[in-house]
A and B are shown apart, each in its own frame.
Chain A
Amino acid sequence: MEATINTSQAIAQPLAQPAAPSLRPIKARQGHLISDSYAMFKRCIRINFRNPDAFGMSIVAPFLMMLLLGYVFGGAMAMGRETYINFIVPSIMLISIAQSTIFTGISVSKEAKNGIIDRFRSMPIAQSSVLVGHVAASMFRSIVVMLAVTAGAFIIGFRPEASAVQWLTIAGLLLLFTLGMTWIAVLVGLTVKSEEAASSSLTMVSLLPYLSSGFAPVETLPAGLRAFAQYQPITPVIDNARALMMGGSISADFAAAILWWSAIAAIACLVAIKTYHRKLTK
């Protein structure tokens, strides 16, 4: 039998004295973006790590792919297996990050149809904190993914030569990439009709690292693809991350990587917040 609500005990009455029935003054200051976002971040992280299937796959799948590429194709590459593993680690990292952002898109899409979003929208909070919480959780996942891929790569022979400063630069660059990819995922999650649609369209986006300098030097690609690979925003991220990992310095297109992904993040963020208000207003 279902338990009955306990009425013998009066519910917590926060008011010091019963207010006279009249209009009530309210606090002048409403929601605060940082603290509200932090509450939402904690919520998203809990939901993420209690649903380990999806998140785990974004680590396991690229790891298996790294094994496959390293051992099956690595030997056939002119550069040799060891060099090839060093060559593909940044691309594997980008793919893993891209896949872990799909999770954000699916969550947002699911939530947009759930009653909880109505509760948040009717509360005195910074409204964008709902989305910012998701993005912050994605950044956190991204850090976990980077550490996991690096550790996995070590096992199969990845031998980076980067200094601490170079590692920090790589991490910063990849986090900026995460930021852009996550806001795209949020935007897609808000736009498409179903979770399935969010998942499949974002999977398409996460394939972009393949069409870059990620797995083969761009010079070896056929003409049309080469042009795309050379100028798409993922290539400068991979090239610079790779150079830094091997102890090299950033190249001329480092600025291009920063500009690309700052612009993508900023635009996707603004459009997503606008879409959130427009789409959910009944």
Chain B
Amino acid sequence: MEAMISVKGLEKSYQSKKSSHQVLKGVSFEVAAGEIFCLLGSNGAGKTTAVNILTTLGLPSAGTASINGFDVVTAADQVRASISLTGQFAATDEMLSGRENLQLIADLRRRKQGKQEVIQLLETFRLTDAADKPVATYSGGMRRRLDIAMSLLGDSPVIFLDEPTTGLDPQNRLAMWELIRDRTAAGTTIFLTTQYLEEAEQLADRIAILHEGVIITQGSPAQLKQEMYCSETDSLPSLEEVFLTHIGENKGVKPCPDLLQAA
């Protein structure tokens, strides 16, 4: 079956007058429909650059990517009709209220039951009390919740969440994970980026570790751990150990020789 997201040899470099900087150096992966896929990496690994290209905000320098069977460059309109994005930075209108922000998205997405959906989302995200206050008066956590509520409005087959829980407190983070799991139950594909290993481990069906523009390994959380398991260690490594070993910064744990060869 064709993958919901398919990325082949994706490259991106930024040219300036003095230098050229390659952010993505040939990234390939596939995401099946209904999966939660997590792109894990440190700051500056290229996660947002990848999200930008997949959501039609940026153009690749080389390689191809398709979503829901549509090429992100040549069929951008169809890609946009298949996705919903929560970017890293709050995408809300400060002068409008939470309700008006949501209603705008409902109008633009031509939701027939828009009003009802907005009321329900406000309820789900515990924003009902502040619904008619301008977003400028919201706390950081409330803005983030509104931002994510705006992305969940509609029935996009693929939802992109670029570091969705950055800036959320622990209980809201847990609640957010719950919501994300609920979404996939309805068949939605989730593309998530995070720098939190725990988040990846909790949520993802599959994880790809992006480091300095290259995917150094990918698989289910269990596979990634298994891959590192070798006779020298007597228990499965934590995902943190897997990650640090892969990016070559694990001073404490000795990596498996096989693994190093593979990388």
Shortest distance from the beta carbon of A29 to any chain B beta carbon, whole Å: 9
The A interface is mostly helix, strand or loop, or mixed, namely loop
For B, the interface residue count at a CB cutoff of 8 angstroms equals: 76
A231 to B261, CA, bound (A): 75
Report A-chain residues with C-beta under 8 Å of the C-beta of B124.
5-7, 9, 11-12
A125–B142 touching, CB < 8 Å: no
Report B-chain residues with C-beta under 8 Å of the C-beta of A20.
187
Could you give, for residues 177-201 of chain B, a 1 whenever the CB lies within 8 Å of some chain A CB and a 0 otherwise? Answer: 0110011011101000000000000
User: Do A122 and B85 form a contact, CB below 8 Å, given A2-B169, A7-B175, A24-B157?
Assistant: yes
Q: Which of B76-84, B213-221, B226-234 contacts A (4 or more CB under 8 A)?
A: B76-84
B58–A14 touching, CB < 8 Å: no
Q: Which of B38-46, B148-156, B236-244, B250-258 contacts A (4 or more CB under 8 A)?
A: B148-156
User: Do A6 and B126 form a contact, CB below 8 Å, given A43-B93, A47-B93, A121-B56?
Assistant: yes
Report B-chain residues with C-beta under 8 Å of the C-beta of A2.
139, 141-142, 169, 172
User: What are 21 A-B residue pairs whose CB atoms fall within 8 Å in the complex?
Assistant: A6-B175, A7-B124, A9-B124, A11-B183, A12-B124, A23-B2, A26-B78, A27-B81, A30-B80, A31-B77, A47-B93, A50-B134, A115-B87, A115-B88, A116-B91, A118-B89, A122-B56, A122-B84, A123-B84, A125-B108, A282-B52
Shortest distance from the beta carbon of B151 to any chain A beta carbon, whole Å: 8
Which residues of B are in contact with A by a Cβ distance under 8 Å? 1-2, 4, 32-35, 49, 52, 55-59, 68-69, 77-78, 80-85, 87-93, 95-96, 100, 104-105, 107-111, 113, 116-117, 120-121, 123-126, 129, 134, 139, 141-142, 145, 150-152, 154-155, 157, 160, 169, 171-172, 175-176, 178-179, 182-183, 185-187, 189
Which residues of A are in contact with B by a Cβ distance under 8 Å? 2-7, 9-15, 18-24, 26-27, 30-31, 35-36, 39, 42-43, 46-47, 50-51, 114-116, 118-125, 280-282
